[in-house]
Amino acid sequence: MQNQTTSFDLLERARRGDDRAFEAIFQRYRSRLSVLIHYRMSDALRRDWDVEDVLQEVFLRAARDLAGFHYRGPSSLFRWLAQIAHHVIADAARSGARTKRDGGAAVRFRSESNPAGYEPVDTNTPSRVMRQQEAIGDWNAKLAALPDDYRDVIVMARMEGLTTAEIAERMGRTREQVSLLLHRALKKYRGML
């Protein structure tokens, strides 16, 4: 699969049942969503729920509701996934008693003895997953070191994909103030890299 494939093309292929296209969508948005989820979860919720668990639930819901998504532009797919993440986090916070869920019957993956089995959704090796988690941890640590306003504006602009007008409305500031704040926040963040 080519890395240059657009989100729209991947989305259309996934809607036609191409599991590899959905896997590519998962890989494309995994890191950004992980950072967003981390900062949208409270400390208490993070003690009970792992970011990876929330991320998996987001993509399960996305796979289920893919037919209902309407592509409106390059950032619309991420914004839709971010909205699903918001709902998953809210559901997790409401769940109260956080008991382990029964995974149901074991899914047998394709093998010589089971040629009709399912293809695994995530073909990453453990070392790749570990490397991605370390990178996400580094991003989270750098974002956590920023002042609250800087971190919030970066998360809204770069992770959620909001416009300056939308951020200004959320933060109760003017567009000019938000633009200046974002510029300063990104400059400080890049200085930490």
The domains of the chain are located at: 1-97, 145-193
> Which uninterrupted H or E stretch holds 182?
helix 175-192
pLDDT band at 1 (very low <50, low <70, confident <90, very high): very low
Helix axes of 19-40 and 51-65: crossing angle, nearest 10 degrees: 130
Q: Do domains 1-97 and 145-193 have the same CATH topology?
A: no
Statement: 145-193 belongs to CATH 1.10.10.10: yes
The pLDDT tens digits of the residues spanning 92-131 come to: 888 754 455 556 666 566 666 666 666 665 566 677 778 8
Which tens digit of pLDDT belongs to each residue from 73-95?
Answer: 878 888 999 999 999 988 888 87
Q: Which residues, 6+ apart, have CB-to-CB distance to 123 below 8 Å? A: 23
Residue 128, SS3 per DSSP = helix
3-state secondary structure of 159: helix
Report the topology of domain 1-97: Rna Polymerase Sigma Factor; Chain: A (1.10.1740)
Q: Look at residue 118 and give its three-state secondary structure.
A: strand
